[in-house]
Structure 1
């Protein structure tokens, strides 16, 4: 599903880092409340039902670090998690909310945009896309915002276990083609499954490479 771009040593280094303590740091509701930009950060963005919380839990090997909810759009803060006191994972508010008013949704989506534009220690954004659906029109606004912010972002396909291997390969190829001319898109697409663990070691390695390369 993905090219083997990381060797066994790199995958093990990433596993070890996330085997160390990972803790919730804080949730910010305004840009003024963000922690000091003193550690490298990677952020996770995506539609509110794409499985962000489950993926963060899978990456960190914790069941309840990020709270998954049956109600889309529950994440209305920018939430920060610290891994081994060396880097931060940032959970951005979801977009495409089903149960939030337009004014409420806009407020928290603007918070996410402000974070993207003004965070000097942000190394990469992982934009989560449901593998069963691929990139949709609703995702275009997020892609445009990331390009405007000039932040390196990488597409991560979630729920890849719901598809056959050949179908996943097709979605990966189609997604790469769609973002190939976007200026801030990282030229690899990673297929993952939080439930099965598919792609999680590679995603951990991508995070380490983004933060410390």
Structure 2
């Protein structure tokens, strides 16, 4: 059974950061400080790489900051390519550190500028990946903290619940929201996911720009690896 990571501690501004007593805090730091590499890009289920260790997938609307989060977590400026063009990422992008962990940057949803048939093909690939990847330990669903959960996000959460895939919500771009508004956004988001069967009940607020919240997220991933060992 995958146990939920310890909830991060609140600070005085409404942001959250890692619990200084979390035993996985240092393990998470060391894990993400390792030699990360681009592994492959898979446009279809048939082109997925062999499974190894555990996988953590990042899902979210286009331009929510998935690539920026990958770069911030790993301390690399250009491991994942960022773009101002919504819907540019059209494949499952795999990044690895040693044999124990792979990060998967999934195609952004909601604003893809592509033919309907292409979008439907991506959707099928994502669904097949989520349902059939047995080493997938958790999906982190990224939500822009300036806007909160939208109907298109709810569709993804519904899919994850039906597939019984463990997931947690990551609020991105926390530095772009006033502290009082941000605290309300966290509370609002947690209230919406609390009764969802596959969801971790607390969100992970982050800022790829300032680094806020990243230690807690790294620690949560390190905990998952330990629990799967």
TM-score category (smaller protein): over 0.9
Shift of 1:5: 4.3
Matches within 5 A, 1:174-185: 174-185=188-199
Structure 1 contact 48–72 (Cα < 8 Å) conserved: yes
Q: Which residue of 2 aligns with 1:101?
A: 115
* Match for residue 147 of structure 2 among 126, 130, 133: 133
The alignment partner of 2:59 has SS state of strand
Describe the superposition over 1:17-69 as per-residue Cα deviations: whole angstroms up to 9, x where unpaired.
Answer: 11110001001111122122221010000001101000011011101001001
Q: Which residue of 2 aligns with 1:151?
A: 165
In 2, Cα distance between the equivalents of 1:90 and 1:123? 11
Shift of 1:93: 0.9
Q: Which residue of 1 aligns with 2:93?
A: 79
Q: Which residue of 2 aligns with 1:33?
A: 47
TM-score (norm 2): 0.89
Aligned length: 213
In 1, Cα distance between the equivalents of 2:167 and 2:197? 10
The alignment partner of 1:114 has SS state of helix
Structure 1 unpaired stretches of 5+: none
Q: Which moved more, 1:94-103 or 1:110-119?
A: 94-103
Describe the superposition over 1:110-153 as per-residue Cα deviations: whole angstroms up to 9, x where unpaired.
Answer: 21111000000000000000000110112111111111111000
Compute the RMSD of aligned alpha carbons.
Answer: 1.4
In 1, Cα distance between the equivalents of 2:203 and 2:100? 25
- Structure of higher RCO (CA pairs closer than 8 Å, 6+ residues apart): 2
* Match for residue 64 of structure 2 among 46, 50, 53: 50
Q: Which residue of 1 aligns with 2:9?
A: none
1:201 to 2:198 alignment: no
Q: Which residue of 2 aligns with 1:10?
A: 24
In 2, Cα distance between the equivalents of 1:69 and 1:3? 28
Runs of 4+ in 1 over 6 A off after TM superposition: none
**Aligned pair in 2 of structure 1 residues 69, 54: CA closer, same or farther (>3 Å)?**
same
Shift of 1:103: 1.7
